[in-house]
Structure 1
Amino acid sequence: MTRNDKIAAVVVSFLITLILYYFLIPNRNWLGKPYLETAQNDGFAVVELFTSEGCSSCPPADKLLEKIQKESNGKKIYFLAFHVDYWDHLNWKDSFSSEQSTSRQQQYSSWMNRTLIYTPQFIVNGISEFGGDDARKLYSLVADALETKPAAALILEAHANKQQLELNYETNIIEKNTSLFVALVQKQATTEVKRGENEGRLLHHVQIVRQTHTLSLEEKQGRLVVPKPENFNTTDWEIIGFLQDDTTGAINAATKATFN
């Protein structure tokens, strides 16, 4: 066998491996799991998914979000699914979509100097992003975030009354151009899609962002009062808060609210 023949054989072998990986191996998402299993827990990861029931590429990303959530095993990973509204005019309106979710994705586009927004899109800790449902990429980014010590600490306590949620926050550092971002999250829901690209599919969602609120930080301690959703309860919902740099989008601390 000549040297050129050997090179050709290596190239053909590599191409065959790629074909097997992308087309013939079922459930290849397991390839990302070791990143999470071996990651340290010194830091945290905020995983934001921009998605829509009207997008045929989104259900695999929704499933990936659910999968990594189930495998997080108590690590400091906070999951948020933002349903955007720019798909709503294409035969199916996502009942969880909102203009606020679209605006947040547009803000990330500005922070990251992107010209377009799209779904599905994952963003980790406000600084790393990718499109699609690449499990290895997501698990790797989350593992890197978990091994990075946070720049600040955050405590968030909540109290629910009949019409409002009272949130008390405390942090140890106040940086310039920093805001407290709070998301009210419905843990799961199911939708039967009757029109559009996902017509006939039963879609299961997790960590659906239903409300967001932002407070510019001037003190290390403070209070934020927000409307309570009609069906809110502490079993099926949770509140996630984090400190975010208003100029770069970087997230410097994150936590879940504890209820008094």
Structure 2
Amino acid sequence: MRAPLSLFLFLLSAMLQAGSTPLTFSSGEQQVSLIELYTSEGCSRCPPADRFLQSLGKQEGLFSTFIPLSFHVDYWDYIGWADPYASPAFSDRQRRYAQIHDSNRVYTPGFFINGNEWRGFFQRDRNWRGSLSRKKVGVLSVTYQHPTSQATFEGKLPDSARLNTAWIGLGLESSIQRGENRGKTLQHDFVVLQWKNQPMPSSTVTLTLPSPPDNGQQRTGLVAWISQSSDPRPVQAAGSLLPSKTTIH
């Protein structure tokens, strides 16, 4: 008999807490690009963008040259469906991007690559790889063993550096009962379930992370990136999926 997913996630969390083999991952010296999608389950135009982000999980270079992230915003919740993955902090992050690009407008679906608006999704060719950065910025390495994580950056830290860490979920599914997507079943990958932002005053920093959240996802990943306190655009990023017997959709 196949064990239920909730039991598997419980056992995985228990193994991490019990001091199992640490999860270690790093970027190369060249910049790993963050591809950020700002989306909402309450937005009728968002499911195609969600599917596009899902498709990136099958592309060459995942986690080594690019990392997809799906930030669910809360500013559409008022139209009838409260997105379970939405956070005011994610909406604020998108608004901060709008500010640094001299714009007073946020919208969904909205894509940013390395903090720069990417409108290629709305074009026929969708040449997203042409927007990836491969400049040499330094190596970001992360070691996680519950509840402690250590991040090290071999390169020049930006002024007022910040370390961002995010738990992400893949293989999530929602049955929408109200709002613009009423009656639809939506699938999501690379959803940011939890995001933490803290100062990084030196090239090595140790932090305490909570256990991976259990939102019913089939896969769980950890992503880290460096930015500045005054500028959310990522300088370098690294990420990995936690061990699992399941696969990316």
1:133-172 equivalence runs, <5 A: 133-134=122-123, 136-137=125-126, 139-140=127-128, 142-146=129-133, 148-160=134-146, 165-172=147-154
CA distance in 2, matches of 1:235, 1:117: 30
1:252 corresponds, among 235, 242, 247, to 235
2:38 corresponds, among 36, 47, 50, to 50
Deviations 1:187-219 (A, max 9, x none): 220111111101111111011101111121211
Give the conservation status (yes or no) of the 8 Å contact 1:152–1:252: no
Deviations 1:118-151 (A, max 9, x none): 11100001123338544634x33x33424x2232
Higher helix share: 1
- Any unmatched runs of 5+ in structure 2? 1-28, 244-249
1:47-196 equivalence runs, <5 A: 47-74=35-62, 75-130=64-119, 133-134=122-123, 136-137=125-126, 139-140=127-128, 142-146=129-133, 148-160=134-146, 165-172=147-154, 173-196=156-179
The number of residue pairs the alignment matches comes to: 213
Q: Which has the higher contact order (CA 8 A, sep 6+)?
A: 2
Quickly say closer, same or farther: Cα 1:84–1:257, change in 2 above 3 A: same
CA distance in 2, matches of 1:53, 1:235: 19
Partner of 1:32: none
Quickly say closer, same or farther: Cα 1:106–1:134, change in 2 above 3 A: same
1:228 alignment partner, SS class: coil
CA distance in 2, matches of 1:73, 1:44: 9
| TM-score of the pair, normalised by structure 2 | 0.77
Select between 66-75 and 198-207 the one with higher mean Cα deviation.
66-75
1:136 alignment partner, SS class: coil
CA distance in 1, matches of 2:173, 2:218: 17
Confirm whether residue 207 of structure 1 aligns to residue 190 of structure 2: yes
1:236 corresponds, among 207, 219, 224, to 219
Quickly say closer, same or farther: Cα 1:70–1:90, change in 2 above 3 A: same
Partner of 1:15: none
Paired AA for residue 66 in structure 2:
I
Paired AA for residue 115 in structure 1:
N
Quickly say closer, same or farther: Cα 1:133–1:189, change in 2 above 3 A: farther
1:82 alignment partner, SS class: strand
Q: Tell me the CA shift for residue 258 of structure 1.
A: 8.0
CA distance in 1, matches of 2:153, 2:42: 39
Deviations 1:29-68 (A, max 9, x none): xxxxxxxxxxxx9542211100000000000100111112
Paired AA for residue 54 in structure 1:
G
Paired AA for residue 35 in structure 2:
V
| TM-score of the pair, normalised by structure 1 | 0.74
**RMSD across aligned positions (CA):** 2.6
Quickly say closer, same or farther: Cα 1:234–1:66, change in 2 above 3 A: closer
Give the conservation status (yes or no) of the 8 Å contact 2:33–2:236: no
Partner of 1:198: 181
Give the conservation status (yes or no) of the 8 Å contact 2:70–2:190: yes
Quickly say closer, same or farther: Cα 1:258–1:73, change in 2 above 3 A: closer
CA distance in 2, matches of 1:89, 1:187: 26
Give the conservation status (yes or no) of the 8 Å contact 1:62–1:205: yes
